[in-house]
A and B are shown apart, each in its own frame.
Chain A
Amino acid sequence: MSELRDDVKYAKSHEWIKIEGDVATFGLTDYAQDQMGDLVFAEVVPVGTVVEVDGTIGSVESVKMASDVYSPLSGEVIEANDSLEDAPEQINEAPYDTWFVKIRLSDPSEVESLLDKDAYAALIEEE
């Protein structure tokens, strides 16, 4: 079973999002990293990138699969975790402790569109 946490919100595209004031921190869910398999590549968009709703904030690849990482919230990237590029395996090892980017939100009301733990659990149950 995939691990889910109470202290984060979720996106349908399998990111977790931690909201602190008007800053959102993004990572991949345990379910997503498990579906991808052992990651061998990761990159994040640079600080200063302006992200639209459902815009790309990074990419991950395992041996056989490639996937973009999305933000369901709009804003500007204020921090990017460049350490992922040299050690993508930390995403597999500790998905909820490994963040991709932090975004200063342009419209904090967009947070209401995110899934809570139960709604995300139902989503991955269906998949």
Chain B
Amino acid sequence: MIYLKKTPLYQHHVDLGARMVEYAGWNMPVQYAGIGDETAAVRNESGIFDVSHMGEVMVKGEDAAAFLDWLLSRPVSSMQPDQVTYAILANEAGGTVDDLLVYETGKNMYLLVVNAANKDKDVGHINDSLGRFKAKKGEVDVTVEDVSDQYGQIAWQGPKVRETAPTVLKALGFKEDDIEKILQLKRFRSLQIADPDGGIEWIVSRTGYTGEDGFEIYLPIAKTADVWQGLIDQGIAPAGLGARDVLRLEAGMPLYGHELGEDISALDAGLNRFVAKEGEFQGSKMRDTVSRKLIHIAAEGKAIPREGYRLIVDGEAVGTVSSGTFSPTLGKGIANVFVDPDFDPEGKELFLEIRNKQLPFTLVDSPFVKLG
């Protein structure tokens, strides 16, 4: 018997009839009504996700900003205090340890939100990196703490989030002036709200992993179930990890272990805009060698691409699918494919090898789904 962690919403998922699966050591809902219906709900109306399994790591101290500037692929010291920054945690060779979001939660306090599957590895890497940073700079004031056990997290995503937010947030018990501030948030901005019962401060940010507008809410574990149930009571559809993966792929967003990895750099994955153009950081070697590039394809027929399938051009294997799925939004198969950096797919006839057949695909732009 393998022990699986449960989020504060575990029983709610079971009661909603979710199919539960192991994911990164957690017992998580992969689907409720069905991946197609959940994807449609988030693209057309709105849906909620339990993302309480995500890891949170607090980095604080006088020198925290200087340390993070060196640790991450882009400087946090140039952030506005309410800005949420997507950045890459790289290793010394330039490969990717994780991708993460940085929230500045106070003076010299930064909350890193990391992938559940990588959290323990990340904490180890950050501490090792702090040792290297100290070797360069001498004694510094930085502490690293895994605070994942303190936070639940719910993502509320979809084109109808903003228009329904005043009613929904009011029903959840948010105060009028907080609702006002939440509605004024620009994209990739956040605000903090004091917990009425003295728990950790809530964080609400206009961020997400679906390509749709919406909010992510970080809140005390003890409050997570009430907020979730409140959202369900307002008629908002729950969506599972299956829909989350489809939505992120349709929206052209990377997933660690697929488009990023210890030997796949942010630049290999085409994430150049999240990597500082100049200046040294721990992983800045990634600028020296780009070993592959990502292209995006869609099926011409009914074929559904899956991870590991080979891309065939003129009878030769020239690439491998990193993520593939049936896109419920587009009604056809879509995939990201890693190819050689100097391979030019323009004008070529592209095929995926699927069950010993070669099936035709078309080169498309990312994101696959054009978003509002």
Check A111 for interface membership: any CB of B closer than 8 A: no
Indicate if the CB atoms of A41 and B36 lie closer than 8 Å: no
Q: B142 to chain A: closest CB distance in Å?
A: 41
A–B complex contacts, Cβ < 8 Å, 17 sampled: A37-B31, A37-B35, A38-B35, A38-B36, A38-B37, A40-B36, A40-B304, A40-B328, A41-B326, A61-B304, A61-B326, A62-B326, A63-B36, A63-B328, A64-B30, A64-B242, A66-B306
Q: Which residues of A contact B302 (CB under 8 A)?
A: 41, 85
Indicate if the CB atoms of A64 and B36 lie closer than 8 Å: no
**CA of A85 to CA of B31, assembled, Å:** 24
Indicate if the CB atoms of A64 and B35 lie closer than 8 Å: yes
Instruction: Tell me which of B35, B39, B328 has the highest count of chain A C-beta atoms within 10 A of its own C-beta.
Output: B35
Check B268 for interface membership: any CB of A closer than 8 A: no
Q: Which residues of A contact B245 (CB under 8 A)?
A: 64
- Quick one: closest B residue to A68, CB to CB? B355
Classify chain B: how many residues form its interface, as a range: 10 to 19
Q: A123 to chain B: closest CB distance in Å?
A: 19
Indicate if the CB atoms of B34 and A64 lie closer than 8 Å: no
Check A90 for interface membership: any CB of B closer than 8 A: no
Q: A93 to chain B: closest CB distance in Å?
A: 13
By DSSP majority rule, is chain A's interface helix, strand, loop, or mixed?
Answer: strand
By DSSP majority rule, is chain B's interface helix, strand, loop, or mixed?
Answer: mixed
**CA of A125 to CA of B302, assembled, Å:** 34
Check B325 for interface membership: any CB of A closer than 8 A: yes
Chain A to chain B: the 6 pairs with minimum beta-carbon distance, closest first: A63-B35, A40-B326, A63-B326, A38-B34, A61-B304, A64-B242
Q: Which residues of A contact B328 (CB under 8 A)?
A: 40, 63
Binding site for A on B (CB under 8 A): 19, 30-31, 34-37, 39, 242, 245-246, 302-304, 306, 325-326, 328, 355
- Tell me which of B19, B246, B303 contacts A63 (CB under 8 A): B246
Q: A36 to chain B: closest CB distance in Å?
A: 11
Q: B121 to chain A: closest CB distance in Å?
A: 25
**CA of A112 to CA of B37, assembled, Å:** 41
**CA of A41 to CA of B332, assembled, Å:** 10
Q: Which residues of A contact B306 (CB under 8 A)?
A: 66
Q: A21 to chain B: closest CB distance in Å?
A: 31
Q: Which residues of A contact B304 (CB under 8 A)?
A: 40-41, 61, 66
**Can you add 18 more A-B contacts, CB < 8 Å, to A62-B326, A63-B36?**
A37-B19, A37-B31, A37-B35, A37-B242, A38-B34, A38-B36, A40-B36, A40-B326, A40-B328, A41-B302, A41-B304, A62-B35, A63-B39, A63-B242, A63-B325, A64-B30, A64-B35, A64-B242
Q: B360 to chain A: closest CB distance in Å?
A: 15
Check A106 for interface membership: any CB of B closer than 8 A: no
Check A59 for interface membership: any CB of B closer than 8 A: yes
Q: Which residues of A contact B326 (CB under 8 A)?
A: 40-41, 61-63
Q: B101 to chain A: closest CB distance in Å?
A: 25
**CA of A41 to CA of B325, assembled, Å:** 12
Instruction: Tell me which of A59, A61, A64, A85 has the highest count of chain B C-beta atoms within 10 A of its own C-beta.
Output: A64
